[in-house]
Structure formats: structure tokens, C-alpha cells
Amino acid sequence: MEKVKPRTLTGFMELLPNEQIEFDRFIDILRSNYIKYGFYPLDTPVLESSAVLLAKAGGETEQQIYRFKKGDTDLTMRFDLTVPLAKYVALNYNELNFPFKRYQIGKVYRGERAQKGRFREFYQADIDIIGDGELSIIHDAEIPSIIYDIFRSLGIGGFKIRINNRKLLTGFFEIKQLSDNVENVLRIVDKLDKIGAEKVTAELGTIGVSAETAADILDFVNTNGSNKERLAAAEKYAGQNETYDAGLSELKMVAQTVKLFGVPEENFVIDFAIARGLDYYTGTVYETVITDHPEFGSVCSGGRYDNLAEYYTDKKLPGVGISIGATRLFSVLKESGFFNFGKTSPVDALIIPMTQNIEYCINAMTALRKAGVRVQTYFEDKKLKKKMTYANRINAPYAVLIGDDEIAAGKVALKDLETGEQSVCTAEEAARIILG
Amino acid sequence: MEKVKPRTLTGFMELLPNEQIEFDRFIDILRSNYIKYGFYPLDTPVLESSAVLLAKAGGETEQQIYRFKKGDTDLTMRFDLTVPLAKYVALNYNELNFPFKRYQIGKVYRGERAQKGRFREFYQADIDIIGDGELSIIHDAEIPSIIYDIFRSLGIGGFKIRINNRKLLTGFFEIKQLSDNVENVLRIVDKLDKIGAEKVTAELGTIGVSAETAADILDFVNTNGSNKERLAAAEKYAGQNETYDAGLSELKMVAQTVKLFGVPEENFVIDFAIARGLDYYTGTVYETVITDHPEFGSVCSGGRYDNLAEYYTDKKLPGVGISIGATRLFSVLKESGFFNFGKTSPVDALIIPMTQNIEYCINAMTALRKAGVRVQTYFEDKKLKKKMTYANRINAPYAVLIGDDEIAAGKVALKDLETGEQSVCTAEEAARIILG
């Protein structure tokens, strides 16, 4: 038979078995934290009607999406989890209880040009809290607490949640007489981390911002010191612009409440340079950076918005949410040597029969499983050496050796494959040792 | 702004929040059982190259699949999890350890005509054990043990795992001089449950099977009694055909070993009428029916095959596996009233502030979360009645009421929302009561 060469498409992450175990653990940490905070799960289709999914774009085809026809139906693969959420809330408005807190962890699709670190299929892990008409700002302060718990659970040592408020920034630019140019100024200032102060000043010049005003802007967004000092520095512009004052008041409230949630100041920084995109966010905005790896960029971002579902409904549905690009975060952590795949195993123990008495081996395996041990038996008819090689290659921490001597004694021989230590005990005792 | 009508495509399951909690629990049960048996997780892309995914079909477009072009790339959405597994094993052969045990729970896509109970996007939950060249038959006997554990964990009372062997059936038809017609005969006999004995006899007649032979066939596939009696009945054809004898020997071995795994005879039936498709399976075959709902058909099927990846590699990779159509099974169980969504909640308790002291409420919430309670706080500035309505609508089992009296005493008021009972205690004591 002629063979087809097996391959996986570029930009589609497909892990080796050990890596997949770690990825699943990683996702479980996100999920269990979201659940602890009382979020509902949600699982929307990967495929949606193009008219629905591209409502914002007016149904136009975009280069970056997977869109196609099946018969007469115009279909698009979801490119994020926010648009499906908007559709879901508009569609099920009468069935939902507000504030509606939901998490969704799922794959999204973007037909981007293939390049290192860019994925075409990747997991996003989102949470959003949606209000009906209004939504308490305390939710804005709970979000950093969730991010903090997740990054702590992941075992990532140093990380900083950076927070700002879009109203504060917009108000500031209005004070600086840049009202007509707020979006352009924001876009340029957002590049500060990447291109540096000098180039930002030059670019601001091209849209008519004077060198003096540019210096004021840079001075403002570079405000440093403790969070208290940063807020104090922001006070000096207070009283000139309503939007600015509203933003400052929100930011103070959020910063103060985040503390109540137990997030330490070393992990939570007010940063006037954070802008997050241009037109969606309307209040609090978040980014999260890993201190040892600033090159990863923001690994968890989001913010407050006024209208989740304006393309589908007249209802005013304000919300606040974050998204973790799980595939990308896993991938960069993996490359930085964060995971120890050599210790990862699908089992806690492997049973190795050295007897024809399969019944005894099966009984031992059943007893171990009942005790909560992840276990399999090497049933193939091979030499002991081959069996031990398999145990080592799947990184089994323990081998449970069963020969006719053990059977006669009603026991098993438990071998710690790291230390080489071996002891003879009952299956139940073995389970206790294995589970530590 | 003109609105787009929000909708979800026909054939794509999208659940309400409470239903989604139960679906996730359902999937968790499958997953935790697969893990207990030592299977590796696997997660392959939803999109693959059409040439790879349709290798078996020779790259031809099939009506039932989602296939499209993006630029020059011919893409297909996976329609099962078996073909991606075959690709994966062929591609990563040198990195894998055999027997390679993997589970995969993921969405697959079939562009079928929309009809009740048919899904276009649905979860499959598969396990397979792949050998390198050969694979012990004991794995065939472990599979029913996994099915048994899963259906018991799901709380489905009566179910029967029906088992047969393709060699036995093929051999039987050869004995009956139907060698040239085995596939057609199998196809017709497979319909016995649906169309009955009379129509099967008639259809067999149209392909030249005499009434007498048809009676023999029906007599054979209808063999009943205990498993022991059924195997004894099969003995009477032994010694005439090698394939038959090999099948009978395998079936006896599997039946005997399944018992060792602790699967009771009431849940495990040898059934000579089970055939499972036409050309893929080569030995043991399984179906699973829910006793109270035979109309669901088989909810968990699979079997033994000789060559997993023959379209991609010359390596002989025999395997045995099963697939649970998770979306369909969940959907029929839901319709039969199996789930109690009215008791399902995203929280174990809801904190209801009746004070301006938000700090105290947040501290209580943090203490409850630390103790493992899924909890949220109703932060919106509403009347108490509205807050209690929210608690009831999300089915919170407990409300934790915090007013200035409780704060002065350093306590909370814990209200059981089912019984209406209320007690005043510390947050830690509340956690113990809530977690029961």
C-alpha cells in the first residue's frame, strides 16, 4: 500500500505524551482556581455562523480567520472566546442570573502567518463577570486576586500584575489638549516598552504633539515608586477633567480593594503606561508579566468594558474579564525549562508479572486502583529486562514485581525505581507507600 | 446600531450554565477513570491536512466532512479521534513506548443532515492501547473493566457490556459456505436488533442465502443463557474452521479474564449478534447498552484491530480501543431526566453583605476559599430580597449573611437555603458545615 506521510500542520501544537500530562495539569490549575471563585463553566461551539461571529466586522472576511462555506452555510471558526460569550449572553439573557460569572477554556483559531511562538490553534482561558445594566467595581479588584492565585498555584515565582484605568489615560490626554488624537496617542504610548522613549517622542511629533507635551506624557506614564506614591503623583492632575477624576477614583478604589483580597504589593503595580488596545476597554485594564521573562510580554490581560454584546442586543451589559493565552504561556514556559518532563509519568506504579499467575497480578492491580493508585500492568510476554526498560521509559516511580515467591507469601515486591530500594509487602501496604 | 440576531448553529450543542456544570462532571468521570488505568492524555489538532486525514479515502471529498481551503492549504476538521491517533503514532513512533495507552476526549465534526439527536459537533471520549507488532489479549479483557467502572461512577444503574469476536463470526459464516459473502451477511445480521428476524431472513434471501442457512445463522446469533452456556453452545461448531476456533479461543480467554477484573456477569454478556462495522475490527468487539433505555443504542463501542496506521507506516501496530460518544450519551441521559439541574450550583455558598464593611466580607470569603469552599460574594448594591433571589436562582446551598451585628461578634450568619435553618458561627466553622 502506498503510504501518506504523517504530519501535523505548522502552528498547531501537538505535544509528546509526557508534555501533554504537564499541559493538562497546567490547565487544571487554571480551571480549579476559576471554579473556586464561583464561575460557571461554558463551552460554546468552535464553528459559528459567519454573520454572527463577524457582526462587529460587518460580516467582512478578514485575512486572519478560518472562514468557509459548507453547502449554503457561511461558517467561521471562533477566533476568540469573547464574541461567542457576547452571542451566548444575548441569546440566553432571560435564562441567566446577573452578575453572570463564567469561565471558558477552549481552542481558538487564527490563520496568521506562521512564525516561531505564533499559533494558529491555541487555547484561551477566559473569565468574565457580566452585569445587567451595571456592575460593581469590586469585581475589578477581585480579578487580580484570581490572577495572583493562579500564578502562585502554577509555581511561577516572580510576576507582576500591572493595572491602569483607561478613563485616567483618556482624561490625561484631554488635559493635555489632545482630545482629537487620544486613540493615536494611546497607540503610540502603548509601544513604549518595545521602542523606547526617544522613538515614542519622535512618533508623537509626527501627529503634531509638541516635544514639551511629549515629555509630560512620558513623565506621566513613567511615574514610579510605591503604588501609594504613584497614586499621589496622579493627584496633581486632579480637578481639571471629569474623566480623569473618575478614572483616578476608580483606580484608587481598585488598588485599595485588591489589598483586601490579600494580593501583596510586590505582585501588584499601578502602571500608567498600560493602555490595552484601543476601543473595547473603558475602565480598569490589566497586564501580567513574568519578572524573569519580560520577553514573554503580557501573559494574562484584560479589563473593564461597557457593552459586551452591543452587536446583538440593546441591553447594556458591562463586564470585566481576563484572558490567559494558555498554549502560548505553556509553550514559552516549556522553552525556558520550567517543566521537568523527565519526572512525568502516566502511572504511580507499574506492575511487572514474573509469573504465569495473571489472576494474582490483576487482583493486586485492582487493589492498588481502589486505593487511588494510577497503575497499569505490563502484560506483554517479554523478558524482564524489556519490562524494566518500559517502566523506566514511562518514568514509573515504582515497579511492583510479582513472582511465584511473592504469590506464595500473599505479597508483592515494591521497588522504588529512583533509589533502587526494594521491600516485600501486601498490595495495600504498597499503595500507602506509593501514595506517600 | 443595527443588531445581528444571535443564534447557535443547528447540531451544535450549547448548554445552559447549570447543564454545563453537569456535563463537565460527566466528562471528569470519564477522564479520571481513564487516568486511573494509566492512560496518557493526548490532544491533537481539530484541523489537519486533508491529505493526511483522508488517507484512507484516498483524499476524496466526502459529503459528511468539513473540508475547505485556506490559501493553498487543503484542510479538514477531524471527524473522529482514531485517524489523528494513527497519524500521531506513525509520526512519533520513535518517541513512544509500547504498549502505548492513550485517552483523548475532544470534539469531532460531521456535516450530517440535521435531525434530532444527531450532532455536527460532538465530543468523543476514546481510549486505545497500541502494541508494536503484537499486543497481549489481556488488554481486550481490561477494556470491559474500564467501561464497568465508568458506568458505575456515572451512577447509571443497569447496563450491559456485550462482547463478541469477529473471527468467530467470520469462521461461522465460512463453515456455512458463505465465505464469498461474509461482509454482506455481517451487514444484514447487524440489523437484527432494528428490523427483526423475519426481515433479516428475507434480506439474506436476496443475496442467495437459503432459508435453512438463514435459520442456522439466526439460531447461532440468538444463542442465549449464561455466558458459560453461550460458550458451550459455540463449542458445537469447533474443529471445522481455523478462524472460528481462533475466535472462540480468544473469546473464552477474554470472558474468563474479564471475571478476574471483577466485572459481574449481569453487566457482561457474550452476544454472537454483535458485529460492529465491516472491515476495521479483527477480533474482540464491544457494545454497551443501558438496560432501561435500549432505544439509546450502543453508548460505548469498540474492538480489536490489526493495523492502526497502515496508511502512514509499514509498522504493524495492532490495538484495542473503545469510544464513548459523550455528547450524545449526555444528551439522551438529559432527556430521560437523569440529571437534577435544579440542584446544580457554581458555588457551595454565596456571601450576602448587609453592611458597608466590604473588608470583613472579603476576609470571610478568603477564609472560605482557603478551606476549599467554592464561594462568591454578591457585591451589587441591591435590596436584600434581590440578593436572596440571586442566591436561590444560582441554587446556592448556603447563604452567608454578614451584617454589622455579625461583624461586631466576629462571626457570620450561615443560612441553609434548603431547610431555612440559620446559625451564627465563625467563617471557619461555616466552612466545615458547608463542606459537610
Listed by number, the residues of chain A in 84-103 with a beta carbon closer than 8 Å to a beta carbon of chain B are: 86-88, 90-92, 95-97, 99-102
Residues A124 and A27 placed together within one structural domain of the fold:
yes
pLDDT given for residue A118 in this prediction: 83
Residues B218 and B89 placed together within one structural domain of the fold:
no
Q: pLDDT means per 10 residues in chain A (436 residues)? A: 92 97 98 98 98 78 85 94 98 98 97 79 98 98 98 93 95 91 84 87 93 93 94 96 98 97 96 82 95 89 96 97 96 93 96 97 98 98 97 98 98 97 98 97
User: Contact A312/B3, CB-based, under 8 Å?
Assistant: yes
Residues B340 and B351 placed together within one structural domain of the fold:
no
pLDDT given for residue A247 in this prediction: 98
Measured between beta carbons, the chain B residues lying within 8 angstroms of A257 are 358, 362
Q: What is the pTM of this model?
A: 0.96
Q: Does residue B286 fall inside a structural domain?
A: no
Q: Does residue A6 fall inside a structural domain?
A: no
CA distance B259 to chain A (A): 10
Minimum-distance CB partner of B97 among A4, A35, A390: A390
Measured between beta carbons, the chain A residues lying within 8 angstroms of B138 are 358, 377, 379
Q: How many Å apart are CA B349 and CA B417, to the nearest integer?
A: 10
Average pLDDT over residues B403-415: 98
| pLDDT for residue B60 is more than 60 | no
pLDDT in tens, B128-179: 999 999 999 999 999 999 999 999 999 998 999 999 999 999 999 999 999 8
CB contact A114 to B (< 8 Å) = no
Task: Residue A60: give the domain boundaries.
Answer: 17-335
Residues B216 and B263 placed together within one structural domain of the fold:
yes
Interface with B, mutate which of A10, A82, A97 (most B CBs under 10 A): A97
pLDDT given for residue A60 in this prediction: 53
Last residue of a domain, one of A269, A302, A335: A335
Q: How many Å apart are CA A107 and CA A184, to the nearest integer?
A: 32
Last residue of a domain, one of A335, A369, A404: A335
Q: How many Å apart are CA A180 and CA A202, to the nearest integer?
A: 19
Measured between beta carbons, the chain A residues lying within 8 angstroms of B120 are 47
Minimum-distance CB partner of A366 among B24, B261, B372: B261
- Which is nearest to A75 in space by CA: B84, B119, B120? B120
Minimum-distance CB partner of A394 among B97, B261, B372: B97
Q: Does residue A67 fall inside a structural domain?
A: yes
Residues B97 and B171 placed together within one structural domain of the fold:
no
User: Contact A20/B9, CB-based, under 8 Å?
Assistant: no
User: Contact B7/A91, CB-based, under 8 Å?
Assistant: yes
Mean pLDDT of chain B: 94
Q: In this structure, which amino acid lies at residue A309?
A: A
pLDDT given for residue A157 in this prediction: 81
Minimum-distance CB partner of B7 among A52, A66, A369: A52
CB contact B109 to A (< 8 Å) = yes
The total domain count for chain B is: 3
Coarse DSSP helix, strand, coil percentages of chain A, rounded to the nearest 5 percent: 40, 20, 35
Q: What CATH number corresponds to the domain at position B402?
A: 3.40.50.800
Q: Does residue A68 fall inside a structural domain?
A: yes
pLDDT given for residue B325 in this prediction: 95
Q: Which residue has the cell 461448531?
A: B237
Interface with B, mutate which of A1, A12, A14 (most B CBs under 10 A): A14
- Per DSSP, the residues of A179-248 read GGGHHHHHHHHTTHHHHHHHHHHHHHHHTT--HHHHHHHHHHHT--S-HHHHHHHHHTTTTS-HHHHHHH
Measured between beta carbons, the chain A residues lying within 8 angstroms of B49 are 7, 9
Residues B315 and B243 placed together within one structural domain of the fold:
no
Residues A225 and A282 placed together within one structural domain of the fold:
yes
Q: Does residue B4 fall inside a structural domain?
A: no
Average pLDDT over residues B41-67: 86
User: Contact A38/B375, CB-based, under 8 Å?
Assistant: yes
CA distance B293 to chain A (A): 27
Q: Is A167 exposed, middle or buried (0-12, 13-18, 19+ CB in 10 A)?
A: buried
Q: What CATH number corresponds to the domain at position B121?
A: 3.30.930.10
Q: Does residue B287 fall inside a structural domain?
A: no
Backbone dihedral region for residue B19 (phi beyond 0: left; psi -120 to 50: alpha; all else: beta): alpha
pLDDT given for residue B58 in this prediction: 59
Q: Does residue B48 fall inside a structural domain?
A: yes
Residues A331 and A361 placed together within one structural domain of the fold:
no
> Angle at Cα B396 formed by Cα B383 and Cα A94, nearest 5°?
65
CB contact B64 to A (< 8 Å) = no
User: Contact B374/A38, CB-based, under 8 Å?
Assistant: yes
Minimum-distance CB partner of A42 among B9, B20, B87: B20
CA distance A432 to chain B (A): 16
Q: Measured between alpha carbons, how far is residue A435 from residues A140, A368, A411, A420, B391 in Å?
A: 41, 10, 18, 17, 39
Measured between beta carbons, the chain A residues lying within 8 angstroms of B44 are 8, 14
User: Contact A47/B359, CB-based, under 8 Å?
Assistant: no
Listed by number, the residues of chain A in 320-349 with a beta carbon closer than 8 Å to a beta carbon of chain B are: 346-347
Residues B87 and B207 placed together within one structural domain of the fold:
no
Give kind and range of the element (H or E) at residue B95: none
Listed by number, the residues of chain B in 372-391 with a beta carbon closer than 8 Å to a beta carbon of chain A are: 372, 374-377, 379-381, 390
Last residue of a domain, one of A311, A335, A359: A335
Residues A315 and A212 placed together within one structural domain of the fold:
yes
Q: Does residue B181 fall inside a structural domain?
A: yes
CA atoms within 13 A on the CB side of B208: 8
Give ipTM to 2 decimals: 0.96
Residues B337 and B356 placed together within one structural domain of the fold:
no
> Do you know the residue count of chain B?
436
User: Contact B131/A8, CB-based, under 8 Å?
Assistant: no
pLDDT given for residue A276 in this prediction: 80
pLDDT given for residue B114 in this prediction: 67
Residues A387 and A320 placed together within one structural domain of the fold:
no
Whether a cis peptide bond, with omega within 30° of 0, leads into A99 is: yes
CB contact B436 to A (< 8 Å) = no
Q: How confident is the model at residue B113 (pLDDT cuts 50, 70, 90)?
A: confident
